[in-house]
Each structure stands twice: as structure tokens, then as C-alpha cells.
Amino acid sequence: MSRIFLRAAVLATALSAACAAHASDDGFSWRFSGFGTAGYAATNSDDVLFTNPGQLKGARKGGSALVDSRVGGQIDFSFTPKLGATVQAIAMQDARGRFRPQLEWGFVSYKASDNVTVRLGRLGWPAYLVSDYRYVGYANPWLRAPLEVYNLAALDRYEGADLRWSHDLADGVFTLQLLEGHASSPLPESTERNARIKVNQLSGAYATYEIGNLRVRGGLSTGKATYVSQNTDMLAAGLGMAGYGAVATRLLPQNNRATFLSLGGTYDAHNIMATGEYGKLRSSGLLGVAQGWYGTLGWRHGDWMPYATWAGYSKQDDSDLYAVPPVGPLLPLSMGVSQLAAGNDQHTASLGVRWDAASKLAIKAQFDHVRPSVAGGTFTKIQPGYNGHPVNVVSVAADFVF
């Protein structure tokens, strides 16, 4: 893993040098920025797998550097005072367990007026408080964004357009962002190259207000979700052959309406940092109804900031809505349906510390005491016989920008 990460870092540095070598003064300007995280995480249990959202491989007792490590670069172009473009690429573990670069953002922007900007292309989905810099670890207080909220929806980006309108309000700035497009996100699966969730007719509206040391963001997205997977297709076919086709239709999302609501805020002044966020996903079928929240309080002392986080997550139990009798040849189908529709929950208490070792380098350590349900909470690859016992996660990371 270390060789892979260093190779990606060298590529990012080479990209920066190449951009500098080809800079010109013929009417446009550009700016390159890079970021990365070298991290390591380990748990005290082999019964579950600890991952970030969308990852196939993760950490158990043996530990892993694949969970949090990443490196990325961004180039912002300005062609005229009104017309620009942005390209961002990040190398990190994907849904097939590979550590390779992918295009995160790629869009053109047009400033129609002092207050209105229109963007078109591949854009970041702005549903979360730190969506604009979620993978820039240096910009975040924690070692990783709390999974109880950031694991609710599987989207990071979408293809489409947005419109941003900003206006001075009182002593702060109010920004309204409207979006429209579609999204497709791979699902963690080693044997299925096409396993993914697709969202068509995606639209949303988000408001951000910044005043002094306070920043608040909230909004709603909605779209029609489809779950594409050979495993779920086989389950649907089996249910149909057994006479439970109606259960398959209701359980497995095919253009089902899904909505995601979120609200969060951060206050950062003097030696106090406080942040919190709430999110709720609502859909029929497999996605179901789930919600998550967290609150973090940190105290700055020179270059050090210890912090504590309390977070919770819950998914509604819909087993009764999709019941298949667990008898005879129906038993495998019943177990598959129950697993997809079962309820789930988790609570996590975290303690961490951030040390700003240099102007562009932060060292972090974090301890998470996670109490999931027998369904595993946000953990994956739950082993048979797991009884919901608490799991401890220990992580260290170096976040840097360049």
C-alpha cells in the first residue's frame, strides 16, 4: 500500500510541475492545489469489517491503510472574468478494492452576474455540511467524517448543472444552490463490475448562511433510484418463481422515489470548535428509511485540538412489509429478504486529537467506541454469529495540502 500511495503522490506532484511548465500569459490563468491523507486504521474484532462508504476492503484486527489514505489534485482555470473551469481527481480505494485515480469533478462555470453563477458538468453533490471538501482531510476537524451521517447516501457527485445565487443578508452571506441531473455510484462488490445505484431525475435545493464564525447548511435532494446488482436480480427472480413477485417489486428499487434531507452547522471561534449535522434518507424498498446525526466539540490549545464526538444512526425495520415464510425451499429467499429489510442502528463515542505540526500538515489520532446492532450498523461483511458486541476502532492519519 505504501508504494501505491507514494506512486500516486509522485503523479500528483508531476501534474503540478507539468501545469507550471505549460502556463502561459495569453489571456487565461490557472491555479493548481493538491491534498492527501496517509492513514492507518485497525479494530479489535474480526467479526466485522470497518470501511468508509463505497469501499470494498477495510480494517479488522490486522489493520489497513486502505480505509483513509488518498491523494488528490485540483486545477482551476479562468478563461475570462466570467468563464472558468475546474477539474479535480482523487486516487483512493474504490468499490472494487482498487487504489486508483478517478475524476471527482469536471465542470465549466459561468458567472452571469456578481450574485449568480451557473455550472455544468460533473459536480460534487452538496448534501452534506463538508461536501465541498469532504476528502480534503486537512480542512476537517476529525480524522474522518462521522459515518453515522456520511454513510446514509451513497452519492459523492452527479452529472448535470447547478445555479448558485448569493446575497448579503444582515452581516453575513446567504447562498442558495439549485441542482438538476443524474448520478451513478458503484456499490462495493468484488465479483460484479456493474453493481451500482443509479439516481435519475435528481434535483435539489440547498441553502448556506455564513456569518462571522458560524456556518449553517441545509437542504433536500430527491430522485428516482434504481439498484443494479446481479445478486438482487437473482433474489427477485427467485421470489417471482416462488409466487412472491409482488414482494420483489416492492423491495428492490426500480425507479423508486428517494429523498434526502440534511441540516448542519459549525461554529469555530477563538479556542472553541463545535459542529453537528443531521441527515435522513426516505425511500420505499431496500433503501428504506434511515437517519443519522452527530455532534462534535473541540478545544484549541496552540497547535493542538482534542475533540469528542457522539453520533447515532438508525434504519427502520421493514421486515413485516416483505415477509416470506421461512419454510422449506422458501428459507433462502426468506433469509435474503429479511437481511435487506431488517432494521439497523449504531451509536459511537469518539475521542480524537489534531496536531497542526506545520503550516500544511496536520497529524490526527482517533479512538471510536462503536456499539452496533446485530445487523452490524455501518460495518460491512458481518460474520455469522456476530452478536452485536461493541467494536473499537483506532486510527492515525497525516493530512497535508500542497
Q: What does the pLDDT profile of the chain (402 residues) look like in tens digits?
A: 333 333 333 334 334 444 443 444 457 899 999 999 999 999 999 999 999 999 999 999 999 999 999 999 999 999 999 999 999 999 999 999 999 999 999 999 999 999 999 999 999 999 999 999 999 999 999 999 999 999 999 899 999 999 999 999 999 999 999 999 999 999 887 666 778 999 999 999 999 999 999 999 999 999 999 988 888 888 888 888 888 888 888 888 788 899 999 999 999 998 999 999 999 999 988 889 999 999 999 999 999 999 999 999 999 998 888 878 777 777 888 888 888 888 999 999 999 999 999 999 999 999 999 999 999 999 999 999 999 999 999 999 999 999
Q: Which of 188, 197, 228, 196 is nearest to 94 (CA)?
A: 188
Counting other chains too, the contacts that 320-323 makes at CB distance below 8 Å and 24 or more residues apart are 321/250, 322/247, 322/250, 322/251
Vertex 328: Cα angle to 228 and 242 (nearest 5): 45
Q: Which of 300, 282, 304, 302 is nearest to 291 (CA)?
A: 282
Assigned domain for 376 exists: yes
Q: Residue length, the chain?
A: 402
Assigned domain for 285 exists: yes
- Can you say how many angstroms the Cα of residue 206 is from the centroid of all Cα atoms in its chain? 17
- Structural contact between residues 400 and 373, judged by C-beta atoms closer than 8 angstroms: no
Assigned domain for 140 exists: yes
Taking the whole predicted model, whether its pTM rises above 0.85 is answered as: yes
Assigned domain for 172 exists: yes
* pLDDT on residue 4: 35
Question: Which residues are 294's β-sheet partners?
Answer: 277, 311
- Structural contact between residues 360 and 401, judged by C-beta atoms closer than 8 angstroms: yes
Assigned domain for 253 exists: yes
Domains held by the chain: number: 1
Q: Is 271 helix (H, G, I), strand (E, B) or coil?
A: coil
Query: Domain holding 271: CATH number?
Result: 2.40.160.10
Run of H or E including 200 = strand 196-211
Task: Say how far apart CA 31 and CA 23 lie, in whole Å.
Answer: 10
Residue with cell 478517478: 102
Domain that includes residue 167, residue range = 113-401
Assigned domain for 297 exists: yes
* pLDDT on residue 18: 41
Assigned domain for 128 exists: yes
Task: Say how far apart CA 38 and CA 46 lie, in whole Å.
Answer: 23
- Structural contact between residues 76 and 31, judged by C-beta atoms closer than 8 angstroms: yes
Task: Say how far apart CA 227 and CA 256 lie, in whole Å.
Answer: 10
Assigned domain for 90 exists: no
